[in-house]
Amino acid sequence: MGDAGKELVDGGDQICNVKSKDQTWIPKIIKKRVCTTFVEDSSSNGARCQCGGARDAHGSVALGDYFSTAIVNHWDSGQHSSEYPTDAFGELQFAGASKRLSYFLRLSWDTPPATVYKLMTAHWGLPIPNLVVSIVGGEGKTKVKTWVREVIRQGLVKASQSTGAWIMTPGLREGVGRCVGEAVRDHATAASSVSLNKVVALGIASWGLVHNREQLVNPQGSFPAKYHGQNMSSDTCCLDINYQAFLLVDDGSVGLRPETGFRAKLEDHISHQLTGGTSGIDIPVLCMLISGEASMLERVELSLKTSMPWLVLAGSGGLADFLSDVLENLSSSQIGQSSGDGDGEAGPSIDLKDKVAERVRRHFPSEAEADKLVERALSIYQHRDLITIYHGEQDSPNEFDTLLLKSLVGASRHRVSEEDSPYNDELKLAVTWNRVGFAKSELFNGDIHWKHKDLEDSMTDALINDKPQFVRLFAENGLNILEYLTYGRLESLYRSVAEGTVLYQLLQRQLAERRGTAAESNVQYSPSKVAKKKKKSGPEEITLFEVAELLELLMGDICQPFYYDALGLEQTSVKSRAFRRASKLLQGDCLYRGMRCLFPWASLFIWAVLQNRSEMATFFWEMAGESVLSALGGCKILRELCKLETETEAKLSTKELAQRFENLAHDVFGSCYRSNESRSFTLLIRKSPFWGGTTCLQMGMGADARLFFSHDGVQALLSQIWWGDMKRNTEVWKLVFTFFCPVLCYTNFISFRKQQKDEEEEEEEEVEPNDDGLGKDSDSLYGNTVFSFADINHMEVESPRPNTRTAGIKGRLHSHRPPKRPYVVSRWRQFWFAPVTTFLGNVLMYFLFLLLFAYVLLVDFKPSPASGLAVSEYVLYFWVFTFVCEEIRQTFFLGSISYRQRIRVYIQDVWNKFDLTAITLFIIGVICRMFKQSYGFGRDVLCVGYMVFTLRLLHIFAIHKQLGPKIIIVGKMMKDVFFFFFFMMVWLIAYGVANQALLYSYDPNLDRIFRRVFYRPYLHIFGQIPVEEMDVKKSWEMDCTHNMTLIQNGEEPCRTVSNNWLVVILLVIYLLVTNILLINLLIAMFSYTFNKVQAHSDIYWKFQRYNLIVQYHSLPSLAPPFIILSHINIFIKRAIRKVPSFKILHFVLQLRGKAANRLMTWENIQKEDFLSAQNKLQRNCDSERLKRMSVKVDDVLKNVTESRGFDHRLRVLENEMEYCSHALSWIVDTMAQGSTFKPSRPPPAIRHPRLPVPSDSALVMPLSGLV
């Protein structure tokens, strides 16, 4: 069995691959015990063996060995039993219970515990425990006390469920074992089905004590074994239904308890195994004593010698009361005398032995071997630091989990090595149990100096297992996040993602894509090495490159790829090239994994957001910089994940967290805007070095953050951009009037914002530029003139060339401005280059275009004569040609992104789709118009194209506060109509086909069939009902025929008269459903959509207003058809002169050095002020006040309970003092009268001295001081 057992222990991974019912290997490894020597029990007159079995139950071999029987006086399992392959194993199903199965195994008492533990975890699939509680005592038919039941239910099982523990009991339906099973069942029922920390109830009982054990016997294994547990006898007991697994220990006896020794060895083996989490600590094992017999004292002594902690329930009776009496009421000072020399061990004093012996006689008066009990009790007393006493009748069960943790912490200090920190195991236990209160009060109270390396493993465990309170605690007590988070550790965090989540599936998809690209490329490794790499399983191969690709998938084109700098990849590289370079890099040493993460808190924030961990993501957001942008980035990621999530509950939580981050971005920016308007504007347009060079406005647009855009600060910036250098209160009619009389821009007809005084400009020019590239305080940057034409022009002329993302971030803004332009030129540009001017110019010219188009279609559109087309048509074609040029500019002049990304960005805009459709229809119509054969068709296409061009006018309504939301309402109503159309088509087709078949028995004409099946029922909805045709009672003046030949030739068929009554009924039903039911349904859908949008019309309008401003900010100032001049200018600057465009980078500002640091510091201060205000409001809310009041009331009740204990002690002392004074008074009176006189009163009754409730040291020490 040794080789087989070793194979089981070493080959645990192979066990996992064995099928559940393929357990033929178990009898080869696991054995049972059978009595092979009949040792007669003298009390049974030869009918029973000392093993407990009857004579008839023994085999011939056991009964035939008379010589051995004659010389043996005591039966021993090791000598008088033999091993055989086990015949009871498999799955167990209780009769009348659900389909839930339990595991069971009959095994010998000397089976290696390592084999059994590997079997339970690897083959049975029991989760590796974070805690093992072994309950000793409480067996038999004795009724369990009520408070013990509450401790087990409210204290033990509840604490075990939060940690993922195993609870070991005999597993029988009696005593404490039954209470544990019922508590585990109740908590499992109440707990969430997705809870990962579930309690495992493990029964370790004696095979000879199990009732109906013969039902479990099957040499081939039982799958399952039907177990009937009624009819209990006096010396056996049934297995409890609420246990997950049973280990039935066999020593060949019947009615004895051989499992005690095996259970102790199993506990010791488990205590040296590691937990299943990332903490890497030994599994904590705690023995819990409830009542118990005197014979269990040996078990307690042996466990304590191996530093096994014990928890004793005082007041539960038996051995538990004896130990609590000895440990609490004996003075530790009485062990001070040594029994030998000074070098020898200190031994107990005679007085201490007498007191222990007295307590043995009191608690166990019938025990014969009292001396052995005294020696064991004294040995246990020397290990009293490992024993914790719990007074269940006085303490609350809610504090039981804290008591368990303190017991394990006290035991861990005895096992710590000299090299390790004495508090590391305590910290790991606190993290494993998620007891942050204990960690704050005991470990982080200022008495312990924690090193950075001592917190790293616990930090990783807290991150992976979602314990944000511990993460916050470590960050506040010495953990340096810059040293902790390397790129390699960040990769390990992504590898720990749970399977089945959306994040895991997305990472695996990216990994598979990289593997496919690497396989297609020319790999330098041999085929055998490639095959070995393919065999590696999923999450351990996830790298930072997969994370970067995943973020690019979620973020889209808003920002540049993440972590490319760390991987050594170019930001603008093609995706296929990036895959190949990444595969080549990851096949090497991967030196980047040892590098520190440049933005640790932001990286952890993204990691937490991707896993939808609300509390942890919020904490990382608080710690990270760029608060507004980070909140918007989290909102964007969560809303993209919400689209991919399939589970309703997860989708709802993701949506709520996304809205929460949008609210945070809105509120924090509100604090910034109230503090400093110009700085808040800079905050919105600053490029982020971590978030891929994007800005708050771009991220908010990508995240669909309507609430954020509705903020007054964002709208103030947009209005300032919209009006340029003109004042916002300028009337529109003045702008239109200036269009036709441009000279008015030089007068006071249009008000412009005041420029800085000449003296201030001269002072600004004299100031030397700072390290951050700014000549003056950065607060003045983009202050009152943000995005005026002068600033834009300055950026276009003086800014460095944009290269890659890194080069762009490292570029600097020159502090000096270009030479001042003449007043005539500057005022001209200030007026014509403002986005509002561009917008009005495009609107006016677009109306002229529509008028010209309508004129051509209605008046001047003739077949092409020999002399050529009309002049108006040529003008129209040229005008549309300028539209085409503008669409090309919008598509291919979008910065440094790839052409594929540019096309995708262009197509995403709905209005661009309108433009593309209109231009396509126009080109098709013009081509067809040029040929006589297709002239009519071309004219029809141009008419449809005109409709699309006209509908494009809806876009200009977005600038209007009242009409803008109506565009969104129309768009949403179109979706309602689309779904309503399916309902209507069902009734329309059903009625149309039936009506046509009933009215006309034969009509093969497809044109008439289509019109009468679809078109005519559709007209019925609007009241156009041909009653004469449908009702035969009405006269119908139309020539018809019944001749099928004529009907086939196209003649009108006559109506069928016989079924006309059914046609009328169907018409009534059809009109009832469509005109009343369906139409009102459509009206209700429209009303709901309108009310939903109208309730937030201001938010919708402000959000779409941003798109309009961005579009017209990037447009050339000239409107079509004059825009061709701007296109020529752009082509010369971009293609020939290679001058980059900064106007196309909408509202982007690069800051570095001191300016960036000042801005981030200011933003963090505003965020802290906002969070402080929020915390203050939360503390003052009613729920928090009630919570604090509840804590205070609990403290008061605890103090009252303690005062009652003191009152009880005082009454005991008063009684003792009264008795002593009465006895002394009698003694004095007796001695005063002498021996010749009889005492006047009888002597006081002699009573045994009562042990005081406090310890002896509390009373003896003060008295000894007085002596």
pLDDT in tens, 390-420: 887 766 666 677 788 878 877 766 665 555 5
Report whether 304 contacts 383 (CB < 8 A). Answer: yes
CA separation for the pair 90, 244 (Å, rounded): 12
Q: Please give the average per-residue pLDDT across 990-1015, as a whole number.
A: 88
Which of 599-613, 1040-1054, 1078-1092 reaches the highest mean pLDDT? Answer: 599-613
Beta bridge partners of 32: 84
Q: Which two tokens stand for residue 1119?
A: 């409107």
Task: Please give the pLDDT value at position 437.
Answer: 84
| C-alpha separations of 1162 from 25, 625, 1153, 1159 in Å | 69, 10, 14, 5
As a whole number, mean pLDDT of residues 1090-1110 equals 86
Give residue 891's pLDDT: 83
For residue 969 the two structure tokens come to 């309402």
User: CB of 248 within 8 A of CB of 88?
Assistant: yes
Per residue in 735-764, pLDDT tens?
A: 889 888 888 888 888 888 775 444 344 444
Q: Return the higher-pLDDT residue of 21 and 862.
A: 862
Contact between 117 and 283 under an 8 Å Cβ cutoff? The reply is no
Task: Please determine, for residue 839, whether its predicted confidence score (pLDDT) is greater than 60.
Answer: yes
567-579 burial, b at 16+ Cβ within 10 Å, e below that, comes to bebebebeeeebb
Q: How confident is the model at residue 518 (pLDDT cuts 50, 70, 90)?
A: low
- Please provide the average confidence, as pLDDT, over all residues in the chain: 80
pLDDT at 759: 38
Number of Cβ within 10 Å of residue 1025's Cβ equals 16
Residue 947 pLDDT exceeds 60: yes
287: three-class secondary structure by DSSP: strand
Residue 332: its pLDDT value, please? 45
pLDDT digits (tens, 9 = 90+) for 529-566: 434 444 443 445 889 999 999 999 999 888 888 998 88
In the chain, what percentage of residues exceed pLDDT 90? 27
Check residue 1247 and give its pLDDT. 60
114: left (phi over 0), alpha (psi -120 to 50) or beta: alpha
**Contact call for residues 641 and 610 (beta carbons, < 8 A):** yes
DSSP 8-state assignment for residue 553 = H
Written in H, E and C, the secondary structure of 106-153 is EEECCCCHHHHHHHHHHHCCCCCCCEEEEEEECCCCCCCCHHHHHHHH
Q: Which residue has the tokens 């099973």?
A: 181
- Which residue reads 């804590």 in tokens? 1191
Strands 81-85 and 31-35: antiparallel
Contact 263, 100 (CB under 8 A): no
Picking from 597, 574, 606, the residue whose alpha carbon sits closest to that of residue 699 is 606
Position with higher pLDDT, 828 vs 761: 828
**Does the pLDDT of residue 110 top 70, yes or no?**
yes
For residue 69, name the pLDDT band (cuts at 50, 70, 90).
low
Structure token pair of residue 125: 């699939």
Nearest to 151 by CA among 262, 38, 315, 273: 315
Question: pLDDT tens digits, residue range 476-491?
Answer: 888 899 999 999 999 9
Determine the pLDDT at residue 1044. Answer: 83
Nearest to 232 by CA among 121, 140, 155, 159: 140
863 vs 22, more confident? 863
pLDDT value, residue 571? 73
pLDDT of residue 96: 73
Which residue type is seen at 552?
E
Q: Which residues contact 92 (CB under 8 A, 6 or more apart)?
A: 101, 102, 103, 104, 216, 222, 224, 225, 227, 239, 246
Task: Determine the average pLDDT of the residues in 695-718.
Answer: 93
Q: Greater confidence, 464 or 1147?
A: 464
Q: What number is the average pLDDT over the span 321-333?
A: 76
The separation between CA 849 and the C-alpha centre of its own chain, rounded to angstroms, equals 55
pLDDT on residue 609: 97
Distance from C-alpha of 325 to C-alpha of 1253, rounded to nearest angstrom: 10
Are the beta carbons of 582 and 567 closer than 8 angstroms?
Answer: yes
Q: Of 428 and 114, which is predicted with more confidence?
A: 114
Q: Is the pLDDT of residue 708 over 90?
A: yes
Q: What is the pLDDT of residues 557-580, one digit of tens each?
A: 888 889 988 888 877 667 777 778
The Cα 1089–Cα 966 span in angstroms is 11
Query: Is a pLDDT exceeding 60 seen at residue 774?
Result: no
Q: Helix-strand-coil percent breakdown of the chain, rounded to 5?
A: 60, 5, 35
Those residues with Cβ within 8 angstroms of residue 944's Cβ, 6 or more apart along the chain or in another chain: 921
Task: Please determine, for residue 333, whether its predicted confidence score (pLDDT) is greater than 50.
Answer: no
Dump pLDDT digits (tens) for 1204-1217.
Answer: 767 777 887 888 88
- pLDDT of the residue at 414: 63
> Between these two residues, 1131 and 794, which has the higher pLDDT value?
1131
Dihedral sign from CA coordinates of 1256, 1259, 1264, 1267: negative
Give the torsion sign (CA, 613, 504, 663, 1150): positive
**Is the pLDDT at 1002 greater than 50, yes or no?**
yes
Q: Identify the pLDDT of residue 757.
A: 44
In this predicted structure, what is the pLDDT of residue 612? 94
The pTM for the full model equals 0.78
Alpha-carbon separation of residue 1102 from 324, 630, 684, 708 (angstroms): 73, 22, 16, 10
Question: pLDDT tier at 523 (50, 70, 90 boundaries)?
Answer: very low
Distance of alpha carbon 570 from alpha carbon 581, whole angstroms: 10
Distance CA 716, CA 680 (A): 11
**What local confidence, expressed as pLDDT, does residue 1124 receive?**
92
For residue 1150, what is the DSSP state?
A: -
Using an 8 Å Cβ cutoff, are 1013 and 993 in contact?
yes
Percent of the chain predicted with pLDDT > 70: 81
Q: Give me the pLDDT at residue 793, please.
A: 40
Task: Give the mean pLDDT of 514-519.
Answer: 69
Write out 427-449 in H/E/C secondary structure: HHHHHHHCCHHHHHHHHCCCCCC
DSSP string, 399-425: GHHHHHHHHHHHHHHHH--SSS-TTHH
> What mean pLDDT comes out for the span 449-454?
84
Q: Which residue has the higher pLDDT, 268 or 347?
A: 268
Average pLDDT estimate for 618-630:
94
Mean pLDDT value of segment 1022-1035: 77
Under the banding of pLDDT at 50, 70 and 90, the label for residue 331 is: low
| All residues at 6 or more sequence positions from 32 whose CB lies less than 8 Å from its CB, including other chains | 83, 84, 85, 86, 87, 88, 106, 107, 108, 207, 250
Residue 441 pLDDT more than 80?
yes
Q: Give 961 or 783, the one with higher predicted confidence.
A: 961
Distances (CA, A) of 499 to 444, 504, 538: 35, 6, 10
Interior CA angle at 788 toward 783 and 789, to 5°?
A: 150
pLDDT range class, residue 371, cuts 50, 70, 90:
confident
Measured in Å, how far apart are the chain's first and last C-alpha atoms?
Answer: 68
**Cβ–Cβ under 8 Å, residues 677 and 784:** no
Q: Which is higher by pLDDT, 711 or 742?
A: 711
pLDDT at 449 (0 to 100): 83
Taken in order 77, 83, 89, 94, is the CA torsion positive or negative? negative
- Of the CA atoms within 13 Å of residue 348, those in its CB half-sphere come to 21
Q: Which residues contact 218 (CB under 8 A, 6 or more apart)?
A: 87, 88, 90, 225
Strand-pairing partners, residue 82, are 34
CA distance 842 to 1111: 12
pLDDT score of 50 more than 80:
no
State the Rg of the chain over Cα: 44
How confident is residue 278, by pLDDT bands cut at 50, 70 and 90? low
Instruction: Please determine, for residue 776, whether its predicted confidence score (pLDDT) is greater than 60.
Output: no
Residues 6+ apart with CB under 8 A from 802: 808, 811, 895, 896, 1140, 1145
Distance CA(913)–CA(918), nearest Å, equals 9
Neighbours of 1203 (CB within 10 A): 10
Task: Determine phi and psi for 447, rounding to 5 degrees.
Answer: -85, -20
